[in-house]
């Protein structure tokens, strides 16, 4: 997926965009730049492909030319207001995903005021704009390139900027919808066992915008009775480990690779992991954590396969405490496998290892 998304209106700025693209090509690979809707293969779902490309990018460039704000459809209506206007849809998506959105003014256009924009993209007016002037084009583009490059630097472990209240509300809504879906999912491999025992499914719990996402194995009895993850003995260990780095569980998000309790406390089986991790994938998409912490071999195996890491065949004994980088649909992320906290319950010696591995999470706070 491309890291730079160029959003523009053909009738408004095509010439400038072509020139900008040629300059960008001196600094970036063609695959880094998503620009032309027409480059999409015939038959692909337009809206879905655009949404995916926007979510995957690190920098979103909105080219604004002289007719950007007033451009009309054949029926005389303003294009920006039309339901199917891709320019607006893409900007909405970039703003909703908190992308770095850079308005780039061309052809002496000026930055539109928020009041002149559809409400869903009014926030664009607050983004700092770049101007590409005709006379100083090369010079202005160099400046833009420097900004893009600094946004594309390889990720370093880092804390996450606080999400806007609007983003937080959206994430809460999406997690609630996912929880409702899981509750109703009669095709769940463990649905009958759940109903028979009056258990709850356990989607997860915590901050919907957490930077740190823990993924455990499966709910135990306490968890299935209350519908919350990690509230038994393993949860106590986890809480204590979090305290050593000054965190509370509410600062993180916790889930499992299997979201219903298996019978007789047995280990999860591959078909269960396959079914429930479609929910885990969706959680990752919604929460957009900077670091995923698989707890134990089942979660680690799943996450390393999901991101196709070269270490995917290695064992947790070799990988615990190793910070690895992966590419998620929404950007660069880290993966830090850690032993399952239940290890400490069986072997006190492992407490020091767990403690040490947890310290690696400090830069993400």
Q: What is the binding site for ligand URA (CB under 6 A)?
A: 216-220, 223, 229-230, 232, 234, 256
Q: Which residue is nearest to ligand URA (CB)?
A: 216
Bridge partners of 327? 332
Contact 120, 88 (CB under 8 A): yes
Residue 227 CB, nearest approach to ligand URA (Å) = 11
Q: Closest separation between CB of residue 177 and ligand URA, Å? A: 21
Q: Among residues 167 and 226, whose Cβ is nearest to ligand URA? A: 226
Helix H segments across 185-326? 191-196, 221-226, 233-244, 270-287, 297-306, 316-319
Closest to ligand URA by CB, 256 vs 277, is 256
Query: d(Cα 281, Cα 285) in Å, to the nearest integer?
Result: 6
Q: Is 292 helix (H, G, I), strand (E, B) or coil?
A: strand
CB crowding 218-241: b at 16 or more within 10 Å, else e = bbbebbbeebbbbbbebbebbeeb
Kindly tell me which of 55 and 247 has the beta carbon lying closer to ligand URA.
Answer: 247
Min dist. Cβ of residue 137 to ligand URA (A): 57
Smallest gap from Cβ 315 to ligand URA, in A, equals 18
Q: How far apart are CA 248 and CA 245, in angstroms?
A: 9
Query: How far is 289 from 214, CA to CA, in rounded Å?
Result: 10
Structure token pair of residue 174: 């999406």
CB nearer ligand URA, residue 16 or residue 230: 230
CB closer to ligand URA out of 216 and 290: 216
Taking each helix axis from N to C end, the angle separating 165-184 and 270-287, rounded to the nearest 10 degrees, works out to 160
> Quick one: 256 or 360, whose CB is closer to ligand URA?
256
**Within 13 Å and on the Cβ side, how many CA atoms surround 13?**
31
Q: Which residues contact 274 (CB under 8 A, 6 or more apart)?
A: none
Q: How far is the CB of 230 from ligand URA (least distance, A)?
A: 4
- Cα separation, 275 vs 262, whole angstroms: 13
**What minimum distance in Å lies between the beta carbon of 256 and ligand URA?**
5
Structure token digits, residue 26: 């001196």
Q: Which residue's CB is nearer to ligand URA, number 69 or number 218?
A: 218
* Rounded least distance, CB 4 to ligand URA, Å: 39
Q: Which two tokens stand for residue 2?
A: 């491309």
Smallest distance from ligand URA to CB 218, Å: 6
Closest to ligand URA by CB, 189 or 219: 219
Backbone angles phi, psi at 127, to 5 degrees: -80, 140
Structural contact between residues 222 and 234, judged by C-beta atoms closer than 8 angstroms = no
């Amino acid at each position: 997926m491309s890291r730079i998304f160029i959003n523009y209106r053909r009738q408004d700025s095509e010439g400038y965009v072509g020139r900008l693209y040629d300059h960008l090509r001196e600094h970036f690979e063609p695959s880094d730049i998503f620009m032309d809707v027409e480059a999409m293969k015939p038959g692909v779902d337009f809206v879905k492909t655009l949404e995916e490309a926007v979510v995957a990018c690190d920098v979103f460039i909105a080219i604004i030319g002289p007719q950007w704000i007033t451009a009309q459809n054949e029926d005389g209506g303003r294009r920006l207001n039309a339901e199917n206007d891709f320019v607006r849809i893409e900007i909405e998506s970039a703003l909703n995903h908190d992308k770095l959105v850079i308005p780039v003014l061309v052809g002496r256009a000026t930055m539109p005021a928020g009041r002149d924009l559809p409400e869903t993209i009014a926030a664009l007016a607050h983004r700092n704009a770049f101007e590409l002037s005709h006379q100083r084009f090369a010079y202005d583009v160099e400046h833009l390139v420097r900004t893009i490059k600094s946004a594309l630097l390889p990720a370093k472990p880092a804390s996450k900027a606080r999400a806007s209240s609007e983003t937080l509300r959206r994430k809460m809504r999406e997690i609630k919808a996912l929880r409702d879906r899981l509750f109703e999912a009669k095709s769940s491999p463990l649905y009958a066992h759940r109903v028979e025992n009056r258990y709850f499914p356990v989607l997860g719990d915590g901050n919907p915008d957490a930077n740190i996402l823990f993924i455990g194995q499966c709910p135990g009895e306490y968890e299935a009775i209350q519908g919350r993850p990690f509230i038994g003995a393993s949860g106590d260990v986890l809480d204590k480990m979090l305290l050593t780095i000054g965190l509370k569980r509410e600062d993180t998000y916790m889930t499992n690779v299997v979201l219903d309790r298996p019978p007789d406390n047995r280990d999860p089986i591959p078909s269960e992991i396959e079914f429930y991790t479609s929910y885990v994938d969706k959680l990752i998409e919604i929460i957009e954590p900077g670091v995923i912490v698989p707890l134990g071999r089942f979660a680690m195996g799943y996450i390393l396969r999901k991101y196709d890491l070269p270490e995917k065949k290695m064992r947790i004994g070799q990988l615990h405490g190793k910070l690895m980088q992966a590419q998620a649909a929404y950007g660069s992320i880290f993966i830090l496998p850690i032993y399952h906290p239940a290890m400490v319950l069986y072997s006190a010696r492992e407490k020091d290892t767990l403690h040490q591995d947890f310290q690696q999470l400090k830069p993400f706070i």
